Structure 1
Amino acid sequence: MGVAGTGKTTVGRLLAEALGLPYAEGDAFHPAANVAKMSAGTPLDDADRWPWLDAIGEWMRNRAAPHGGVVAASCLKRSYRDRLRSAAPDAVFVHLTGDRPLVEKRMADRRGHFMPPSLLASQFAVLEPLGADERGIAVDVSGTPEEITERALAALRPPRHQS
Structure 2
Amino acid sequence: MTGERPTRHVVVMGVSGAGKTTVAREISELTGMTFADADAFHTEEHVALMRAGIPLDDEARWPWLRRLSAWMADRCAEGVSTVLACSALKRSYRDVLRQGPPSLDFVHLDGPVEVIRERMAARAGHYMPASLLESQLATLEPHGPDESVVVLGVSGTPGELAAAAVARLGLRPAMSRPPGSTRP
Q: TM-score, normalised by structure 1?
A: 0.93
Which residue of the partner structure matches residue 105 of structure 1? 118
Offset from partner CA, 1:59-115 (integer Å, 9 cap, x none): 100024434200101000000000011122301111111110010011111100000
Q: Identify the range of structure 1 (62-71 vs 130-139) with the bigger mean alpha-carbon deviation.
A: 62-71
Does the 8 Å contact 2:34/2:80 carry over to 1?
A: no
Offset from partner CA, 1:33-70 (integer Å, 9 cap, x none): 11011000001100110111011111100024434200
Cα distance in 2 for partners of 1:150, 1:138 equals 13
Which residue of the partner structure matches residue 10 of structure 2? none
SS in 2 for 1:87: coil
After TM superposition, list the pairs within 5 Å mapping 1:22-61 onto structure 2.
Answer: 22-61=34-73
Does the 8 Å contact 2:18/2:109 carry over to 1?
A: yes
Q: List gaps (5 residues or longer) in structure 2.
A: 1-12, 172-184
Q: Identify the range of structure 1 (123-132 vs 58-67) with the bigger mean alpha-carbon deviation.
A: 58-67
Runs of 4+ in 1 over 4 A off after TM superposition: none
The amino acid across from 1:76 in the alignment is L
Does 2:17 correspond to 1:18?
no
- The alpha-carbon deviation at position 131 of structure 1 amounts to 1.1
Q: Identify the range of structure 1 (11-20 vs 58-67) with the bigger mean alpha-carbon deviation.
A: 58-67
Q: Percent identity?
A: 52
Q: List gaps (5 residues or longer) in structure 1.
A: 159-163
Q: TM-score, normalised by structure 2?
A: 0.82
Does 2:102 correspond to 1:89?
yes
Q: Identify the range of structure 1 (124-133 vs 72-81) with the bigger mean alpha-carbon deviation.
A: 124-133
The amino acid across from 1:39 in the alignment is R
Q: CA RMSD for the aligned pairs?
A: 1.2
Cα distance in 2 for partners of 1:26, 1:20 equals 18
| Count of residues in correspondence between the two structures | 158
The amino acid across from 1:144 in the alignment is T
Cα distance in 1 for partners of 2:143, 2:124 equals 29
More helix by share: 1
Compared CA separation, residues 71 and 64, structure 1 to 2 (3 A): farther
